[in-house]
Structure 1
Amino acid sequence: MSSSDFRQIAIRTESGKAERLFRAAVSAFCSLTRPSRREIGQLEDLTLPLFDDVSVESRRYVAAALSECEYAPAALVRRLCEEPVDIAAPLLIRSRAVSDIDLIALIGRHGLPHARAIARRKDLNPTIADLIRVLERPTLVRVRDPEVSAPTKPAAAPVNAQAAEDSATRQQAPGIAAENARRRLRSMMRTGDEALAARVDAFPGSDTYVKLRETALTGNAAFFQTALADALDIDFSTARSLTANQSYSSLLAALRSLDLSEDRAFLITVAIYPSLFPHPQAIRTYLDRYRLLHRDVALDKVRVWKAETVSRMVRDASSANRDGRKASNSDDVAPLLRASSRK
């Protein structure tokens, strides 16, 4: 599809009829067997400026059409996915242009309506599927205290026991239920590691990734900084400085040096810096920066951090030696001073 094709579409439509142009352009694009990058870019350049001027029916039509399109333009698909679920559902269920990172972000912004549509995707990432199940029934996810759950009366019939458990669950405070949901999610992510390794993008460094991910999800900065120090072979103070900044630049370089995939790196980063990703553009910026950062450059930065670690260790050892020598000299001089005073 060339620029002249788009002009012909515009000519055939009446002046100011954004609806017909919007639909016609997408229909023509979907008829292409294998569109080029240039044609994909042209469609985005044409349709995105018209997006706010078209009706809900046109958006719903385009979403349905692009959901079956193998090479759908990513920017237009993301824009449609931000619409209410009655428009976005076909893309959430079928589109290949929506990545796992996009799905997680959509669930975070739109909650259960989008999550329920995403749950219908074929070959859905097991971790995302588990997250959706937690969101569906958060009050049924709880960690039982063995002391509290010890029976004080003879066990009743199984049906009555189940009813009592459900009643106790419904009476949980919302904060406790939410914390139990987070614990349950972390537990499911741990138990799902083998499935993820087999079905997603397993690689030899997965153990390092799992440690970083799990410690990041605890919300305890010290846990994550310790895992990061172990992964990079640096000291704790250096690792702490990497996440103490207002920017994620240092952490991005650290994760790139470990050769993590961009979706894994983003999951860790958003857990450490959640406030830096309030909208899709911030996510796209991060992914672009991560892709453009060459791993050799990131490794050079890690070497500098390691050199600083060694230098700090040498300074500390030298300082300790000086203090030791001073103490030793003081011990040697003291008897002489006492002898001279007696004389």
Structure 2
Amino acid sequence: MTADQFRALETLSGSGHSAHHKTDDLLAAAVAGFNSLTRPTRHESQQFEDLALPLLETATPRAKRQVSAILAQHDAAPRKLVLALANDNIEVAAPLLLRSPLLKTTDFMEIIGKSGLSHARIIARRQPVDPLLLPLLENYDDEIIKQTLNSEQPLPAAPAVQEANEPEPASMHYASAPVAAKPVPTPPFRSANSQPSAPQPLPAHDLGALSLTAYLRPAIAEHLIDMALLIDNSMFRTALADALDVNYMRAETIIGTWPNSQLPLALKAIGLTAQDTYLILTAVLGTIHGEREQLREFVHIYRSISPEQASAAVRRWKSDDMNEKLRNQLRDLAENTTDSFTNAANNDSSIQHKKAQ
């Protein structure tokens, strides 16, 4: 992390943000700075750990979930930070338990011992499962773990479809579009021998407006697919809410039921490919069998949705959430004001009664 970025962090720490907001800003800046390093040195990893680890105590659950999703793809993340997140509640820990290359068999054993069944169910999804872990997982005699261990097979590939840019459709109706599954893509883990292009360094003056969601983009497809393939549907709902920055009830409404689900529009706004969207729809809304021509039609419709259309839909959802929140606050304020007037009136009546006596 550059000196300018650290100075920006110091500026943030003295800003007038609320405690949680300020912590999330600092955590976002720390993760972004570390993620911009192509090959972090041991000193840089330690520096990142020293800064980020204390922030977890007061960071919001959403910020911790997003940091977990980012670090799950990073093979140079500090181990103490990874272990702290992996031992957190299951919605925070899940991405790391599924994908992190830093967690060892002994780590999984300790995590299961501390956190129990919820974490064991996610660890059972990790492929391949370490043979040393199998007796520990099987000892739970849990139906979900048994189902995961016995039926975890590669998903069938979707029929090949020639994708091409199509003119923008007059409507976005998916009623005739089936969903087919494809193999889960191998996550692009960074290694010491690889030389990925480094992300653009962050301008120091922009750190105050950072959103961790922006740094989740490179890993978001794998993260959403992972959460969609879990048996617990609430995990995907939470991941979708984080990615779109909407509330959980809104995410549930977006998911809905097929064929009226708005999930394709949401995934388009996030930037997922048609292939990844197929897989997520299949996992979340149930397998929808169809012919090659219907699959082609879905791809045609999905690719024809412009980014502007998808972004406008997300803005509308956020606006509706904000309006609902304001209405609730105004209603609570009105009720509190009415209660205060009633209590004041009752007290005045009591005083007058006593004086009369």
TM bin, normalised by shorter chain, reads 0.3 to 0.5
TM-score (norm 1): 0.44
TM-score, normalised on structure 2? 0.43
Larger Rg: 1
Greater share of residues in helix = 1
User: Higher relative contact order at CA 8 Å, sep ≥6: structure 1 or structure 2?
Assistant: 2
